[in-house]
């Protein structure tokens, strides 16, 4: 009897504690909500929304630190699902998240480790086991010609179009980097003079939308170029391009970097064995890399250079290119660049295996492309002359 009474008393105590706990959590949530910044405009000052560079919103969010979350709330507010920042009397619309620091989710990491079926024969090799793989694979003869991005920030457009062109299997399919840039900037709600792009995002955009041939939307080496805002391109030209863009990714898989990779193992962009296996399977890799130690015409093998402290030189920029070959005995990859034929080896750069281990950021492989519809025979090739003769 007394034990029942005692257990009832304990139960009541626990219930009381739980109620208090719930109360505390409720107060914490209320306090958090109260700290959200208000988007009220300053009286008499018109609202001004412009595009500005933005901060590492996603990184701050991902850190889940209370202090960082408070900074986040103090700094941003969201209107129509777009983050904004107040800078004095003005309000600034921030760029979409893809431009911010990008940390792949656990699911993305996990998905990237599930290698496509065509890589199954090389699985053991990728994970560090012996396997007979050719010393040299060179896909340069399969590529379209080397192009020149001129003075624009469009390396991702060139790398992704090079990857799509070769995925369609022809050296004569010349796709429009100009349209790709228009497409990417439109997808990110950015202007045509905006800065670069995270290379892996181009795979997402190219699987959502197709691109057209170069002849439909030729590259513009200077501004004004095609924008997703303003009057350029003219509506008729835009409609024409959008009606002629069947070139599209059907499936792809992304490859991420693993920072603490002690040996060459795993399906990571900084594992040369994985890149070799992909190239051996017949595919090329669109990839983004940090840049350090490049100078002159870049004709030799670009390798890791050490700074005064004995550490690899810090990165000065990001760049996108297409990995299209390797030479295992000499430990370098062949990479298609977009700086014309005067740089590198006739436009192809050689990056050492160590460079890839140190500086490669991420990339993707185009597994399948959307099939092209059969083009009907032109009227000229039909029996038009016969009809004429009958007349």
Q: Is 63 in the site for another protein (CB under 8 A)?
A: no
* CB 92 within 8 Å of CB 52: yes
Contacts for 345 with CB less than 8 Å, ≥ 6 apart: 299
Min separation Cβ 340 and another protein, Å: 8
Within 10 angstroms of residue 221's Cβ, the number of other Cβ atoms is 12
Q: Is 18 in the site for another protein (CB under 8 A)?
A: yes
CA distances from 263 to 6, 30, 53, 258, 368 (A): 60, 49, 37, 11, 30
> By CB under 8 A, which span of 4-12, 123-131, 168-176, 212-220 interacts with another protein?
4-12
CA distance 297 to 343: 5
Q: Is 197 in the site for another protein (CB under 8 A)?
A: yes
Q: Is 139 in the site for another protein (CB under 8 A)?
A: no
Near another protein in 79-98, by CB under 8 A: 85, 87-90, 92, 94
Near another protein in 177-196, by CB under 8 A: 194-196
24-28, Cβ contacts within 8 angstroms, sequence gap of 24 or more: none
Min separation Cβ 336 and another protein, Å: 15
Min separation Cβ 159 and another protein, Å: 8
Q: Is 317 in the site for another protein (CB under 8 A)?
A: yes
CA angle centred on 98, ends 336 and 231, rounded to 5°:
85
Min separation Cβ 273 and another protein, Å: 24
Min separation Cβ 128 and another protein, Å: 29
Residue closer to another protein by CB (options 216, 320) is 320
Near another protein in 283-302, by CB under 8 A: 288-291, 294-296
Binding mask 27-46 for another protein (x = CB under 8 A): xx--xx--x------x----
Near another protein in 152-171, by CB under 8 A: 152-156
> By CB under 8 A, which span of 136-144, 256-264, 301-309, 316-324 interacts with another protein?
316-324
Residue closer to another protein by CB (options 100, 267) is 100
Inter-axis angle of helices 201-208 and 177-187, to 10 degrees? 100
Near another protein in 216-255, by CB under 8 A: none
323: closest CA among 136, 84, 163, 112?
A: 163
Contacts for 117 with CB less than 8 Å, ≥ 6 apart: none
* CB 37 within 8 Å of CB 77: yes
Burial 340-369 (b: 16+ CB within 10 A, else e): eeebbbebbbbbbbbbbbbbbbbbbbbeeb
* CB 279 within 8 Å of CB 322: no
Residue closer to another protein by CB (options 233, 363) is 363
Tokens of 25: 């959590």
Binding site for another protein (CB under 8 A): 7, 10-11, 13-14, 17-18, 20-21, 24-25, 27-28, 31-32, 35, 42, 52-56, 66-67, 69-71, 74-75, 85, 87-90, 92, 94, 99-102, 149-156, 194-199, 288-291, 294-296, 315-320, 339, 343, 361
């Amino acid at each position: 009897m007394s034990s029942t009474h005692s257990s009832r008393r304990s139960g009541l105590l626990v219930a009381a504690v739980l109620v208090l706990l719930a109360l505390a959590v409720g107060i914490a949530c209320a306090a958090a909500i109260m700290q959200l910044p208000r988007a009220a405009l300053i009286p008499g000052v018109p609202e001004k929304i412009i595009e500005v560079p933005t901060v590492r919103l996603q990184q701050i969010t991902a850190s889940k630190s209370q202090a960082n979350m408070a900074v986040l709330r103090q700094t941003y507010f969201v209107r129509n699902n777009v983050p904004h920042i107040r800078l004095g009397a003005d309000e600034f619309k921030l760029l979409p998240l893809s431009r911010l620091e990008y940390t792949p989710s656990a699911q993305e990491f996990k998905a990237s480790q599930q290698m496509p079926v065509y890589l199954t024969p090389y699985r053991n090799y990728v994970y560090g086991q012996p396997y007979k793989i050719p010393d040299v694979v060179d896909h340069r003869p399969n590529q379209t010609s080397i192009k020149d991005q001129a003075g624009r920030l469009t390396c991702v457009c060139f790398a992704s179009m090079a990857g799509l062109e070769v995925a369609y299997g022809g050296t004569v399919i010349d796709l429009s980097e100009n349209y790709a840039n228009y497409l990417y900037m439109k997808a990110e709600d950015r202007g045509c003079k905006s800065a670069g792009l995270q290379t892996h995002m181009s795979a997402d955009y190219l699987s959502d939308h197709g691109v057209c041939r170069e002849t439909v939307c030729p590259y513009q080496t200077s501004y004004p170029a095609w924008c997703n805002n303003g009057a350029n391109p003219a509506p008729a030209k835009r409609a024409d391009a959008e009606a002629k863009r069947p070139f599209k990714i059907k499936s792809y898989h992304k490859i991420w970097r693993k920072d603490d990779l002690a040996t060459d193992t795993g399906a990571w962009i900084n594992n040369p064995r994985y890149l070799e296996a992909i190239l051996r399977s017949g595919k090329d890799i669109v990839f983004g890399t940090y840049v350090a130690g490049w100078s002159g015409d870049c004709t030799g093998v670009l390798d890791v250079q050490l700074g005064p402290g004995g550490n690899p030189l810090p990165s000065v920029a990001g760049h996108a290119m297409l990995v299209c070959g390797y030479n295992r005995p000499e430990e370098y990859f062949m990479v298609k660049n977009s700086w014309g034929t005067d740089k590198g080896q006739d436009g192809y750069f050689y990056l050492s295996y160590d460079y890839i281990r140190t500086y490669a950021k991420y990339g993707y492989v185009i597994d399948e492309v959307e099939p092209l519809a059969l083009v009907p025979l032109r009227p000229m090739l039909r029996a038009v002359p016969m009809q004429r003769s009958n007349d």
